[in-house]
Amino acid sequence: MKKIFANGTDEVAFLADLKKRSGETNKKVTEVVTEIIENVKNNGDKAVKDYTLKFDGNLPQYYEVPREVINDALTEADQEFVDALLNAQEKIADFHQRQVEQSFISAKDNGVIMGQRTRGLHRVGLYVPGGTAAYPSSVLMNAIPAKIAGVKEIIMVTPPLKDGTPNKDILVAAAICGVDRVFLSGGAQAIAALAYGTEEIPKCDKIVGPGNIYVATAKKLLYGVVDIDMIAGPSEILVIADGTANPKFAAADLMSQAEHDVLASAIMVTTSEKLADDTIKEIDRQKEYLSRKSIIEKSLDDYGAVIIAESREKCVELANEIAPEHLEVLMENPFELLGSLDNAGSIFLGHYASEPLGDYYAGPNHVLPTSGTARFFSPLGVASFTKRTAYTYYTEDALRQAKDDIVLIAEREGLTAHANAIKVRFE
């Protein structure tokens, strides 16, 4: 893991290289995904099943998972696992309930009535990776805010296991969260099916959930046909720390994200060179007993670094420049910095708010902006699953008071039909 001193040159060069890791579109992947999308659009379920056979080697036990199979997965599951998911569900729901946006109406003395109607989307598609990359926590993080928003129907798609059956842990999470229907299909073909609809898979208004590069590319290409949550890049963590931080904690937290992917980024910015050295030693020690050691090593070698900064203010400056997905503040009095940390997907304050707490349990969503997009994107939440419609009512007298201004602006823009629509009401 690289050790860099923030001197205005070395850290700038490192951050410039970091931005290149997910910036270029893979043209070959785009070509393949474009062909898949067009085939599914024209041939529906037949195309989806053909791709399943091509990529997975055999068709699943069933295309749509029967409701009794979903219910049986919940009743037959290990009770400790179910209880853990239920505890997480309670905390995630409690946090997201506070995000609910109310409709409003504003009545003026002159009889004008304006307002906004907010309601949930009709139908949302949820993509859940299968196989070894099956994450029940992602089901909770996507489905719970959707339900709170008032989404009427959640359609899940997830790849089957090699034996053609669904992943039981995914079904348990789906049952707990009230997912309405589950189809065994993965990849770009499943995204296309959700976007366009097939004979069996309903057309959705929005698609959410993580996936591989083919899934991410399909979502990107279909944005506009359907809404999506975000264009997700590789996982990221930035730890800003001072001499009060425990290097054992810092090392463990950095590796918790490095294990996701060889493209993942794990960076620490610290005011303490001793902490930097001790953290690197701890990484070397702890990685030896971790199951994804090779992925961690590759990630840290290519995209990891410990940056030595001269002050807390410089740490904050670099954090806002990097705009990380996850930001940990392992510093004395971390709340003092909260008002200055403007660009981050989710912030973890103090020595015991470890990032995996946010992945699974605390309550805030773990679907977060990556690749510096925290400068302008927000985490997934209840608002992600709603739509808003404004409405206006004017009386004749109220429009008469406003007509001259409206006509003047419309005619200045050269839109005479706009002006005429107002004028004709008073001729």
214 is in an annotated binding site: no
Cα gap 193→151, rounded to integer Å = 19
The catalytic residue among 236, 259, 297, 325 is 325
Pairing of β 386-393 and β 113-120: antiparallel
Cα gap 174→148, rounded to integer Å = 15
The catalytic residue among 96, 326, 351, 366 is 326
For the record, the structure tokens of 87 come out as: 């505890």
235 is in an annotated binding site: yes
Q: Residue 326 catalytic?
A: yes
Angle at which helices 187-196 and 27-56 pack, to 10 degrees?
100
Cα gap 318→270, rounded to integer Å = 11
Pairing of β 123-127 and β 153-158: parallel
CB 52 within 8 A of CB 60: yes
| CB neighbours of residue 163 within 10 Å | 8
Q: Residue 96 catalytic?
A: no
413 is in an annotated binding site: yes
Residue 238: strand pairing partners: 267, 327
Residue 178's contacts (CB-CB under 8 Å, 6 or more residues apart) are: 143, 147, 154
Residue 157's contacts (CB-CB under 8 Å, 6 or more residues apart) are: 125, 126, 127, 128, 182, 183, 184, 185, 186, 190, 191, 193, 194, 201
CA 88, 91, 93, 96 torsion-angle sign? negative
DSSP annotation of 133: G
What is the phi-psi region of residue 156: left when phi exceeds 0, alpha when psi lies from -120 to 50, beta otherwise?
A: beta
189 is in an annotated binding site: yes
Query: How many helices and strands, by DSSP H and E, does the chain display?
Result: 16, 14
397 is in an annotated binding site: no
Helix runs in 129-200, H state only: 136-149, 168-177, 187-196
Cα gap 191→208, rounded to integer Å = 10
CB 154 within 8 A of CB 146: yes
CB 124 within 8 A of CB 396: no
Cα gap 350→35, rounded to integer Å = 48
284 is in an annotated binding site: no
Can you point out the beta strands (E) in 271-414?
A: 305-308, 326-330, 346-349, 386-393
Annotated binding residues, as ranges? 127, 189, 212, 235, 257, 260, 326, 359, 413, 418
Annotated binding residues for NAD(+), as ranges? 127, 189, 212
Annotated binding residues for substrate, as ranges? 235, 257, 260, 326, 359, 413, 418
Residues assigned a catalytic role: 325-326
Annotated binding residues for Zn(2+), as ranges? 257, 260, 359, 418
